[in-house]
Structure 1
Amino acid sequence: MKRDDLWSFALACYAQPGVEVACLELQAAGADVCLLLAGAWLECRRIACDGARLEQLKAVSDDWRTQVVAPLRGLRQSWREQANRDSDLASLRGRIKQLELEAEQIQLLRLQSVAEHWPASRGSADWLDQLCADLSDEPQISLNTLRYAAASQLASGD
């Protein structure tokens, strides 16, 4: 893959200190983490955020997340307690987790295919705040953690 692809960016960003916790907090508040990672990627690339682009990304992401990622995640989470006592179920749960990760990779690839040709501009590139405008909790600390990690990826050239 290209060095600046969304999947590589997302992996590197998610691996930064505090980002996993921040993303899980945002997810618990109702955010789509793949969409947030795409938003951070777009912010770093200085791609202007407008209503039409935002809705286009949400449509692509929401469909895949609700039809594929969320059911896999729900199944994996529902098996958590039982898997602690049943090694066969723990093995199946691990395979479901891998499928969930693959589904998230496809979701990110779909988001990239929509946005990768959008040119950088001088307009507002404030994707993360726009994506979190309707969340149930105050996301600013978690958003700042994600934004800092994304900026560090840009600074390191990854």
Structure 2
Amino acid sequence: MSSDLWSFSVFTYSRRGVERACLQLQSAGVNVCLLLCGLWLEERGVTCNKQRLQLLRDVAGPWDADVVQPLRALRLQWKAAASEDAGLNDLREQVKSLEMEAERHLLSRLERLAQSWPQCEETERTAWLEGVAADAANLDRDALHQLRVAATGT
């Protein structure tokens, strides 16, 4: 298992079923970077508590709203037109790369925040995923369970 959050996230996201579950949860309002961070913290045995969840949200919220979401919105806005315009498609791919880089920066910020939290503690298996997804208006608990199964094999 990769020790840094970015490598862990790339590996986890590439597992069968993870992308689909993440996109379902994203459409319900869950931040995928927080989901991946929650899985990473769970894997490391870091105890989940309200204070830590709030610290993660405080880091992720503004960056997601100000940087990631506008890039994603532009990429999605251009999707239909880009299928008929090669130049626009090239620009859309560049925006997609910027969106990915913005997510990488967010994961780096989350990792720096959580780096000093003690590892290998007794922790509730579902606490992190439930905690980072708790604010979603239409949380799809089945997708959350599918994510856990696909990501961890449990």
Report the TM-score, using the length of structure 1 for normalisation.
0.90
Q: Percent same amino acid among aligned pairs?
A: 43
Moved more, 41-50 or 122-131: 122-131
RMSD between superposed Cα atoms in Å: 1.7
The gaps in structure 1 that reach 5 residues or longer are: none
Q: What is residue 110 of structure 1 aligned with on the other side?
A: 109
Q: Tell me the residue number matched to 2:124.
A: 124
1:20-56 per-position Cα deviation (integer Å, ceiling 9, x unaligned): 1100000000000001100010111111111110000
Tell me the residue number matched to 1:75: 74
Deviation above 4 Å: which 4+ runs of structure 1? none
- Structure-2 separation of matches of 1:22 and 1:32: 12
Q: CA deviation at 1:116?
A: 1.5
Query: Is the CA contact 1:40–1:146 (under 8 Å) kept in the aligned structure 2?
Result: no
Please give the alpha-carbon distance, in whole angstroms, between the structure 2 residues aligned to 1:143 and 1:116.
25
SS at match of 1:64: helix
What is the letter of the counterpart of residue 112 of structure 2? S
1:135 aligns with 2:132: no
TM-score by length of 2: 0.92
What are the equivalent positions in structure 2 for 1:38-57 lying under 5 Å apart? 38-57=37-56
Report the Cα distance in structure 2 between the residues aligned to 1:27 and 1:34, rounded to whole angstroms: 10
Runs of 5+ unmatched residues, structure 2: none
Query: What per-residue deviation string (whole Å, max 9, x for no partner) do you get for residues 66-97 of structure 1?
Result: 11000000000000010011100000000000
Q: Give matches, 1:15-54, under 5 Å.
A: 15-54=14-53
C-alpha deviation, 1:16, in angstroms: 0.6
- The answer to whether the 8 Å contact 2:75/2:96 transfers is yes
The answer for the alignment partner of 1:148 in structure 2 is: 149
* Residue in structure 2 matched with residue 88 of structure 1 by the alignment: 87
Give the secondary structure class of the aligned counterpart of 1:135.
coil
Number of residue pairs aligned between Structure 1 and Structure 2: 152
Query: Matches of 1:25 and 1:78 in 2, distance apart?
Result: 19
Partners of 1:6 and 1:112 within 8 A in 2: yes
Matched residue type, 2:73 = G
Residue 124 of structure 2 aligns with an amino acid whose one-letter code is S
Amino acid at match of 2:113: V
Distance in 2 of aligned mates of 1:62 and 1:118: 20
Match in the other structure for 2:58: 59
